[in-house]
Amino acid sequence: MRLIDRLVSRPQPDEERLGFDAYADLVMKMGGWNYPLSGAQSGPPGVPSESPPAGFESMVRSVYNRNGIVAACIAARMGLISEARFKWRNLSDRRMFGNEALGILERPTPNATTGDILARLEQDASLAGNGYRVRIGNQLHHVRPDWMHIILGSNMADGYEVADAPDATVAGYAYWPGGASGKYDPLVFRPVDVAHYAPEPDPLFRFRGQSWITQVLTEIDTDRQLTQHKANFLERGATPSFAIKYPETLKDRDQQQQIVDLFKERHEGASNAWKALHLFGGADPVSIGSNFRDLDFKSVQGAGETRIASRARVPASVLGISEGLAGSALNAGNFGQARRQFGEQYAYPSWRLMCEALAPLVAVPAGAELWYDTTDVAFLHEDAKDAAEVISTQATAIRTLTDGGYDPDAVVTAVTGGDLSTLLAQHSGLVPVQLQLPGTGNMNDGPSAPAPDTGAKP
């Protein structure tokens, strides 16, 4: 039996969980699997791995905690994604249902809910490109994404890196408490015990994901500098920057420093803004800067905010930033389109990928799949008029198909599920009277009704 089969099928209760040394020893001894001890990335020693991108803490401290636009984008994504609930969906008719097997997703740990799973996966994926949940016993635990390493295996790697082999696959996950530089040994988990959510694949790595923030770091830094410029503008007098030209006769260094110190004390800082400036001894102020209006500060910073929001797939009008609150962006039709765009381009694909990542951790019923239920997601609800039009259209379609001789229950399932192929072999064999040939009589093939008596004599 190959290593991947052994690792997936091997029973592994908590009290018998393999330590990293035992896991590495098993990996090295299994025939047909090549794990060179050299050339591995900066992950757990002894086996090759795809390690998390460096700089997770820096991303959190320097970007997430200090940039309001990035934090607002992630908060908007978390707020929407955490409102869904998990259900089973029948593969044949797309009907959704629930049972007790969903309990582990509804209450992953004693102090967590489904919303916590969804929110954490989104937050970790935004900041690190990867989100994880680990099954330990009957609970699903959140782990830091920068402490998780993807262990790789291959049957074909011979003389080159396992990650470069065409059949490279995930052989396990190593969780390293405290990070690679920590003092603790890594813990190993089987692939079937880990939910790995990576919505945006890293182009340079086969299995790990990449943060969407990576592509807008320049815009984020520019936004930071503009914000700092605004703060400096207020701290240094809340007036246009200028230089003061003194007469050439003022050459004494101590006297020059006294004048500079006195000017700072009386005229710099927001508390001294708009005071009259009095200069003596031939001093001449020379403007060398510009004000916020000259810089068109709002437009410049607003454009950068919109670029960040666009990369996060959060419409500006939904996020509530300046460019999203101007012009026709808040018209009912435009805002409705932005709302649908947010759902179609971000929420629905993310929910599907999360379901695929979490499915190995739960007992999926035969003929079904793990799916998401958006019934309680108010943000995605259409306006009352639109909802009524949808129901009216569905009712018309149901009436038409039922009148056409199809089984009513099958018609309702097909129309609400959006799959008319389920109507195959569901026809009752009856056809509407309009399809009868002329002169064939009524549907009962009985005697024709007598002509009415008009009272006329022959």
- Is the domain of 203 the same as that of 261? no
Q: How far apart are CA 19 and CA 95, in angstroms?
A: 43
The range of the structural domain enclosing residue 47 comes to 3-59+105-210
- Is the domain of 202 the same as that of 262? no
Q: At what angle do helices 68-81 and 297-311 cross, to 10 degrees?
A: 40
- Position 264 in a domain: yes
- Position 406 in a domain: yes
pLDDT tens for each residue of 181-223: 777 888 899 999 999 999 999 999 999 999 999 988 888 888 7
Closest among 73, 272, 40 to 163, alpha carbons compared: 40
pLDDT tens for each residue of 308-344: 999 999 998 888 886 656 655 556 567 788 888 899 9
Give the pLDDT score at 13. 45
Give the pLDDT score at 32. 39
Give the pLDDT score at 270. 61
| Cα-trace Rg, the chain | 34
Give the pLDDT score at 302. 73
Q: How far lies 240's CA from each of 66, 148, 282, in Å?
A: 27, 51, 21
- Position 80 in a domain: no
Single residue among 251, 271, 288 that ends a domain in this structure: 288
- Position 166 in a domain: yes
- Is the domain of 282 the same as that of 406? no
- Position 198 in a domain: yes
Q: How many domains does the chain have?
A: 3
398: left (phi > 0), else alpha (psi -120 to 50), else beta? alpha
Single residue among 229, 254, 288 that ends a domain in this structure: 288
Give the pLDDT score at 255. 81
- Matching residue, tokens 């708009």: 274
- Is the domain of 200 the same as that of 271? no
- Position 70 in a domain: no
- Is the domain of 255 the same as that of 206? no
| Residues 362, 65 contacting (CB under 8 angstroms) | no
- Is the domain of 32 the same as that of 137? yes
Give the pLDDT score at 126. 95
Single residue among 210, 229, 255 that ends a domain in this structure: 210
Closest among 180, 182, 112 to 142, alpha carbons compared: 112
Let me know the angle formed at the C-alpha of 385 by 381 and 388, rounded to the nearest 5 degrees: 85
- Is the domain of 133 the same as that of 184? yes
Q: Residue 149 carries which DSSP code?
A: E
- Is the domain of 37 the same as that of 163? yes
Q: At what angle do helices 217-235 and 297-311 cross, to 10 degrees?
A: 150
- Position 154 in a domain: yes
Give the pLDDT score at 340. 86
Q: How far apart are CA 9 and CA 286, in angstroms?
A: 79
Which residues, given as ranges, of the chain have pLDDT below 70? 1-46, 233-242, 269-274, 281, 286-301, 322-333, 382-387, 432-458
Give the pLDDT score at 6. 46
- Is the domain of 139 the same as that of 266? no
- Is the domain of 282 the same as that of 154? no
- Is the domain of 260 the same as that of 203? no
- Is the domain of 53 the same as that of 111? yes
pTM, 2 dp: 0.70
Let me know the angle formed at the C-alpha of 412 by 410 and 414, rounded to the nearest 5 degrees: 65
- Position 79 in a domain: no
Q: How far apart are CA 321 and CA 312, in angstroms?
A: 13
